[in-house]
Amino acid sequence: MLQKKDYIEYLLSTPFNYTCTNLADHKPNLCHDSVSDFLRRERFTPSQLWASVAPHIEDSETSVVIADDSVQNKKYSNFIELVKRQYSGNEHGTVKGIGLVNLLHSSGNDGDFWPIDYRVYSPEDDGKTKNDHFQEMFKRLVTHKQLRAKTILFDTWYASVANLKLIHRSGWTFFTTPQRRPLKSNRLVSLSRETGYQHLNELEFDGQTLVKGLIVKLKECPFMVKLFKVVAPNGDVDWVITNDLDHAVNLFVAEIKNDNRWQVEEFHRGFKQLTGSEKCQCRKARSQRNHLACCYHAWVSLKVKAKQMKTTIYQVRQGLFTDYLVQQLMNPTVHAV
């Protein structure tokens, strides 16, 4: 009987074809139905991912958690459950695909980041929005994972008042990240009771406040936040907020300059390129969910090996095919004519 370990090792070993048929064709005494039954039968969960990742995390007070979402592109799939049209930052538009909401832990060191939780975005199945998934994962982050990290970074898609309240009341620091989906300029903020609420684009910033930020009140948010205006070289404006009012300047400068917020993008890229996350052709939602769960474990397996070898996950993956190339160069199966 096919086991989870077998399927993960198949994802790591196959160079381009990730179908049930291809696995059955290359593993002795295994048929296509056994593979498809395995994907329909099992019920892998995000908690299993945390169990495998937790021993490898270097957690400290300076570590951060990063939240973001991605879309597994299924533009040629017309009959796969979970597939819906949704916005993809990678494609800069809407595509047909399966949405994932991810939490990553970063120690702050170069390349040291790990997925610690995820959810499949399928409102037709469970009625949950991406913000619902975010809140669910954050609550488990606080109650179950017991991390020393107490800072969370996310783009402003997740900067709803409900999310900000939850994070703030849990004793965490939030920090929205610029340059992806900025705060809408028509969001209402207040500098004081006297000025009342006004749109972001009506605020005036001088040289000092551009560096140090403004302490403002978001409408319907019961606590103050610090607001930064980030002006890109081309003139585009992003808005960044944090509930760290005392040390926000140092935190802001550090987070804008370092690569923490981009590590989640690096994870998304490796997840898609090296695990076959987008390549499963099974139609059933349960099969797709189990395939994706195994893809997370495949990525973690690559990461563990890469740390042992002091190399990258891409070099580990490419190294799997080095012996084959050496053998073919010495004794080609197909000779040139």
**Cα–Cα distance list, 200 to 189, 196, 226, 243 (Å):** 7, 12, 13, 17
289: Cα separation from own chain's centroid: 16
pTM of the model: 0.92
Query: In angstroms, rounded to a whole number, what is the distance separating the alpha carbons of residues 118 and 168?
Result: 22
Phi, psi (5° rounding) for residue 108? 95, -10
pLDDT in tens, 100-143: 999 999 998 888 999 999 999 999 999 999 999 999 999 999 99
CATH code reported for the domain at 44-284: 3.90.350.10
Greater model confidence, 301 or 263? 301
For residue 157, the 8-state DSSP code is G
Average pLDDT, the chain: 89
Q: Contact 272/11 with Cβ under 8 angstroms?
A: no
The pLDDT of residue 69: 94
pLDDT at 73 over 60: yes
For residue 182, the 8-state DSSP code is P
Greater model confidence, 331 or 108? 331
Nearest CA to 175 among 116, 240, 237?
Answer: 240
Q: Which two tokens stand for residue 324?
A: 């084959």
293 pLDDT band, cuts 50/70/90, is very high
Q: Using only C-alpha atoms, what is the Rg of the chain? A: 23
Domain boundaries, the chain: 44-284
